[in-house]
Structures are given as C-alpha cells and as structure tokens.
Amino acid sequence: MRIVVTYDIAKDKVRRKVFRILESYGAWKQYSVFELEISDVQHVQMREKIRSVIEEQDRVRFYELCERCMKKVTEIGEPSPEVMSNIV
C-alpha cells in the first residue's frame, strides 16, 4: 500500500525519532511529509513505533493512496529531497 504520512511535532528530539522511524520505511518528500510503499504488517508496526515516541500534543496523519490517485500526484517548485539526491 502507498501511504503519505504527515506530522506536526513540537519537540526536536521527538520529531527526530519520528523522522528516523519513517525514514526506515520510505522516502522523505518534504519537511514533515513521507511517502511510503509498505505492507499492512509494516503499517501496523510503524504506527506502533510512532505511537510509542510521540506525546499527547503531537499529531501524525496517515493518507492511504490508491494506484489511480498516485497517477494524479503532481509537483511544482523545488524537487523533493529524493529527486534532488539523484541529481549530479
């Protein structure tokens, strides 16, 4: 499944932990946005890991994207970090 994860986390330490968790599952797209291609099991595991580090005031949102929706994704402006890493 393709999932977009966004987060709003106040404390740097907690935000770094969430970033590392998400980075282990997929591509960092923007400052607080990841795009992941993961299995149902990985999705459950990832959510539990995140739940164990975030605090009450933090927010993490998960958007599941279907194949048809992915074909409609467009981007303008500066390339995402994943694209930039491929530029020589």
Distance, CA of 2 to CA of 9 (rounded, Å): 23
* pLDDT band at residue 27 using 50, 70 and 90 as cut-offs: confident
Average pLDDT, the chain: 88
Tokens standing for residue 48:
């539990």
- What is the model's pLDDT at position 77? 82
Which residues constitute the domain of residue 53?
2-84
Q: Output the domain CATH number for residue 18.
A: 3.30.70.240
pLDDT at 48 over 70: yes
pTM score, whole prediction: 0.80
- The total of structural domains in the chain comes to 1
- What is the model's pLDDT at position 81? 65
Distance, CA of 7 to CA of 18 (rounded, Å): 9
- What is the model's pLDDT at position 82? 59
* Backbone dihedral region for residue 77 (phi beyond 0: left; psi -120 to 50: alpha; all else: beta): left
